[in-house]
Structure 1
Amino acid sequence: MGGASPLANSRGARRPEQLKRGAFAAIVFSVLGLLTLVKISGGLDAWRDLAHIDPIMLGIAFGLIVLTWLFDSLRMRALVHSLGGSLSILEGMRISVMGAFVCNVTPFDTGGEPVQAYLLIDKGLTAGQSTAVVAVKAIMNAFARVSLGFAASAALLFSRSQWSLPLGMDIALSVGTTLYIIVFLFSLYLVFKPEKISVLVVPAVRNRFTMRFFKPETLDTALERIDHELREFREALQEFISNRRPALAAVLLLSYAAWIATMLIPAVVLTGLGLKTPYVQAMGVTIIFYLASAYAPTPGSSGAAELGFAALFSSIVPRAVLGLFVAVWRMITYYLNLALGGVLMALGFMRRGSGPPDRITRADNSDAM
């Protein structure tokens, strides 16, 4: 779990050059997806409507994404303060955006939580405590996503909406949703049974393959450090569960608030384009998309996100503006994070020098929520 976790420590670090390559790949895949949508939705002529988008609704959409950063900051702040650390709202928002940036440039959206865990170590927490903060936040976030996804599915079913999908897309949606739920349940199991992490980590760290490249003493030292961090992790989790339940409840409520804000963005964009928007249906389709696309293999789900989102909304958005709609949504929810997060990450690298950045983006596939 998290950047300071045993699983994370057993993996290689991502250097700034790797982040640059990831960002480049993400942009390439995203542009290819958008170009495909341009062709499908009638060419560049259809994009003239961008000049007529309601600036107030566009501003609201941008405000909603900023609101998600605020909610994420408040979640971290509540958990950090409950363990005796200190985190300001603005600093929490900075950590949130930087985590989103790394998430957007790593395959399967896996890099965000490790970055946040690393950055929280500077806020008065141990490595194990920062890992516990990020793990608990991720679990609460995933629980909110799954429960809202099920609620949306039920709402779409009982409302007898006209939402329909091709068979291939329907299968992909089902597979993606099932995979997300499996990973969520497994991560939840590890949170409540953290001692099981050792069962997974020891064979991964000390085996025939690693013994060829590292001295036994080196591997034993790594395992001792992992065991120490695991003890800190368990103690922090026990503190949350036993004595900090109000903080957990607040984090869960903030997770629901963050997802509702995210679900509103596409509906607000559609309204800004002058379309009659079925808000409940649009919000339901949005959360189902996020549930199913969580583990797309491209950096930031680029390419898959654009085409998948367009397919899901094709039943309620006219084809002529479908490409424009997806482009505006992606600009708000993805490119803004990519640009701002990239700037903050670059500033962080310049302040810290060449050493810490090698550790800052250790990826752990088990943590992506």
Structure 2
Amino acid sequence: MSRAWWLLIALIGASLLPLLLGGRSMLDQLARFPLDSLLLMFGMILLCWLINAQKLRVLLAGRAGPLSQRQTVGIVMASEFAFYATPGGSGAPLTLMALLARRGMRPAQSSAIFAVDQLSDLLFFLSALLVVLGYTLSHSLSPNLESSLLLGALLLGGLLCAVILLARFQRRVIRANGRLLARLRVGPRRRLHWARKLLHFRDNIVISLKQPPRRLLLVFLLTSCHWTLRFSVLYLVLRAMGVELHWAWTFLVQLLSLAAGLATLLPGGAGGTELTSMALLGPLVGKSTAAAAILVWRVVTYYFYLVAGGPVFALMAGRPLLRRLIGLRAERS
């Protein structure tokens, strides 16, 4: 059986998990879910695409030539579709590089833009965890919530420190990488080729980070707006179902669930995200309510990205890139 069929089976199985865990009462709650709230959440995702498109335009700073708002939104939707349709989100940077290469950008430039974007995400999550932790400490919401937020902040802080150390000792890292490739019996030309790629990547990151402070601040503000909207979906789902749960809890549930989903290396974290969010949310709101909320949340923040982004990806990137991303081989008739 081809890899595409295995991935499709995994996606279907993941979507059925909430149905299996929630039981018949979950179906009753889904039937009563207000349509206007669902449409509002889809509108929030559309706004997220517009925000990310504007952030991409700021990061590009005209290096990809004139880009209309429609073209930038298309690049964002295609890249995010590739993120959710490929194991571990590995297709997102490849799709971004392929689409920007058509506009004359070198892979080192587009990959550096993707890296700066990910660094902005990391700074947001660390800042958000610290803000939410400060709020919970001042309001004494829950000792379990405080300890979980503190642990998450320490992990993200450690990751940020690792990135800073990597930048600080970049020359030693490049040399160590060369020695490692030599031990693996990689030829001198090949080692030189990879060293040049790393240097080009480093130089382009430096160029991206040397933009005016106002531009970098705008990138961070757009990142904050995007993730605040995304991480408010589960909170609004629960509110629409009549459940009063603090936003900080829903933020932590989503953050841990998405991290666990990425660790499964399945497209969109299928399976791992559902099981983790069910384990965290079930004791707080009840099994059937948690299952219904998780299903609606995943429809809005995962399956909608696939359904809406798929045609855009097909139009902008095409089937050959999709085959390359998911590791398919063209079958000969």
Q: TM-score, normalised by structure 1?
A: 0.74
**Aligned equivalent of 1:149, options 115, 129, 133:** 129
Q: Which has the higher contact order (CA 8 A, sep 6+)?
A: 1
CA distances 1:294-327 after superposition (whole Å, capped 9, x unpaired): 6422412221211211232235424332211110
CA distances 1:83-116 after superposition (whole Å, capped 9, x unpaired): 4644333333333233333332444444423332
Report the Cα distance in structure 2 between the residues aligned to 1:319 and 1:262, rounded to whole angstroms: 23
The alignment covers a number of residue pairs equal to 324
Following TM superposition, by how much is the alpha carbon of 1:251 offset from its aligned partner in structure 2, in angstroms? 0.8
SS at the partner of 1:123? coil
Q: Tell me if structure 2 keeps the 8 A contact 1:163–1:315.
A: no
Give the corresponding residue for 1:3.
Answer: none
Report matched runs for 1:121-140 at 5 Å.
121-140=101-120
1:235 aligns with 2:211: no
Q: Which amino acid aligns with 1:71?
A: I
Give the corresponding residue for 2:331.
Answer: none
Which structure 2 residue ranges, 5 or more long, are not aligned?
328-333
Give the corresponding residue for 2:275.
Answer: 307
Report matched runs for 1:90-101 at 5 Å.
90-101=70-81
Report the Cα distance in structure 2 between the residues aligned to 1:101 and 1:70, rounded to whole angstroms: 15
Q: Tell me if structure 2 keeps the 8 A contact 1:80–1:86.
A: no
CA distances 1:23-69 after superposition (whole Å, capped 9, x unpaired): 4254045135324422xxxx124312222222221111111122222
Q: Which amino acid aligns with 2:11?
A: I
Q: Tell me if structure 1 keeps the 8 A contact 2:64–2:103.
A: no
1:202 aligns with 2:170: no
Q: Tell me if structure 2 keeps the 8 A contact 1:46–1:320.
A: yes
Report the Cα distance in structure 2 between the residues aligned to 1:308 and 1:128, rounded to whole angstroms: 36
Which structure 1 residue ranges, 5 or more long, are not aligned?
1-16, 363-369
**Aligned equivalent of 1:289, options 256, 260, 283:** 256
- Alignment identity in percent? 22
SS at the partner of 2:234? helix
Q: CA RMSD in A?
A: 3.4
Q: Tell me if structure 2 keeps the 8 A contact 1:97–1:341.
A: yes
SS at the partner of 1:314? helix
Give the corresponding residue for 1:113.
Answer: 93
Single out whichever of 321-330 and 27-36 deviates more from structure 2.
Answer: 27-36
Report the Cα distance in structure 1 between the residues aligned to 2:83 and 2:93, rounded to whole angstroms: 8
Q: 1:145 to 1:200 in 2, by over 3 A?
A: farther
Report the Cα distance in structure 1 between the residues aligned to 2:202 and 2:15, rounded to whole angstroms: 43
Report matched runs for 1:193-272 at 5 Å.
194-195=170-171, 198-199=174-175, 201-203=177-179, 205-208=181-184, 211=186, 216=187, 220=189, 222-272=190-240
